[in-house]
Structures are given as C-alpha cells and as structure tokens.
Amino acid sequence: MTRTARRAARTPDRPLGRAPWVLVAPALTGLAFLVLPLLGLLVRAPWSTLGTRLLEPAVLEALRLSLTTATLATALSLLLGVPLAWLLARVPFPGARLVRALVTVPLVLPPVVGGVALLLVLGRRGLAGRWLDLWFGITLPFTTAGVVLAATFVAMPFLVISVEGALRAADPRYEEAAATLGADRWTVFRRVTLPLVAPGVAAGAVLCWARALGEFGATITFAGNFPGRTQTMPLAVYLALETDPQAAIVLSLVLLAVSVLVLVLLRDRWVGAG
C-alpha cells in the first residue's frame, strides 16, 4: 500500500464542499412546498374539540366504512394480485411486457377515468354488468361492493409491483430444490415461494391498503357518495369542506396519521433509513 493510499485510509470521509446555493435554494423551496401544507393542517386543527369530533356519528361511520372497504380491497388484491405477480415474474410468455404495462396503467390513470371505465364494464348497462344484473340480480355501482371494487382497481398495482419485485429478487434455487425433492408446483409456491417473498407481500399489502383507504376519484364516480353506504373518509372530507371545515380537518388528520404510520412501517423498504 502506498503512502497516499495509507493516508486516504486513515482520513475519515469529508464532504465534497459547501453545497452551491443554486441547488440549495430550490431544494429548500421544494421541501417547504411539501411540508408547509401539512404544518398548516396541524396548526389549524381543532385540538380542543378533536376527541369530540372524532366520536361524531358521521365521522365514525365514514371511518368504519373506509377501514372495512380498504381491508376488503386489500384481501381481494392479495387473492388476485399475488398470482398475477407470480405469473409475471416466473412464467415467460408472449406479451408479458404488454401485460405488465396494463397492470401498471391504474397507477397513472386519473382515478375518475378509472371510475368511468368501471361503470362502462360493471354498470347496469355495462359490458359485464348487464349480465350480472340479468342473470344474478347483482348491481355493483353505488353500493359498498362498488367501493371495494373501485379501491381494488386503483390499489392492486401497488401490490403486484411489490410482490413481483420480491419474486425477481428471490433465489430460485430453493424452489428448484423443492421441486427436485418431489414437491408439486402448488406445494412449492405455498411452502417455499410465499415464505421467501413474505416481506414483499406484506409491504405491498400495506401500500395497497393505504392507497385503498385514500381513494376518492374512482369511488365517487363508480360508487357515489351516500353516507353509511359509500361515503368513505376522503369523500366525507370533500363534503365537509362545504358544510363543516373543522370536521374536514379532523378527517384529514386521521388520513395523515395513517399515511405517517404506513411510512414508519415501510421505512426499511421504501424510505431511506440513512
């Protein structure tokens, strides 16, 4: 080792120098732009009456409906999304890139457009909805089930992307070893693959649940805004802004708390821990 190399090995890491203001100024402006609205929400919150407002029947009903529909949407996303992620990650087939692109479309599609699309397919006169109504008497729009479907449509891609990434990162030799020992494909998937990607499934499920909890556009378009049936917390916030702004702030604080909790739970996977 040369003298210069030994000196460099003994010298602790040093910053490259003072950051130029041409970068610092817009960086701080961007940070303020993102943080100040949240601080404004906290400053204007009715802390003295927060407990009372949280116990109001309308708030509790919206909270109950949001938690229920978000949980059901996450369960449905797990049921459909995990196999879809496995298909994309493990099975090469023609058109896989197109299928992956279609799966991610709801991430960039305006939620209102997603609601319109759901109406055109599952509405009483939709491509599939008319047959559901005619054969089984099932009507999905403007029902609690419609809220679940709308939330699933916009939230399931988060789960699929997370699980697919975990599957691609997992070592396939464990699955190959299990298959060599005589395990069938279902046993390999259940006993080997799922335990390997369990952290990715959990992270995707949390992201999916949080996205479903905050869904607004597709829900109001496909399911409407009926208290006790389809009025989730984001819809209640929208309605309360016109009649009771303090209630809107309280509901917004609940959603903010959920968002912070999700970031805390996923800090090691999605947020740099430093």
Residue keyed to tokens 């999905």: 140
Which letter does DSSP use for residue 143 in this model? S
State the pTM of this model: 0.83
Q: Where are the domains of the chain?
A: 59-263
Give the Cα separation of 115 and 37 in Å (integer): 28
Tokens coding 90: 């493990």
Architecture of the structural domain at 59-263: Orthogonal Bundle (1.10)
Model confidence pLDDT, tens digit, residues 23-47: 888 998 999 998 898 888 888 888 8
Span 229-248, mean pLDDT?
87
pLDDT band (50, 70, 90) for residue 116: very high
Give the Cα separation of 56 and 24 in Å (integer): 45
Which letter does DSSP use for residue 232 in this model? -
**Which is more confident, 16 or 262?**
262
Span 49-62, mean pLDDT?
83
**Which is more confident, 272 or 255?**
255
Span 48-77, mean pLDDT?
88
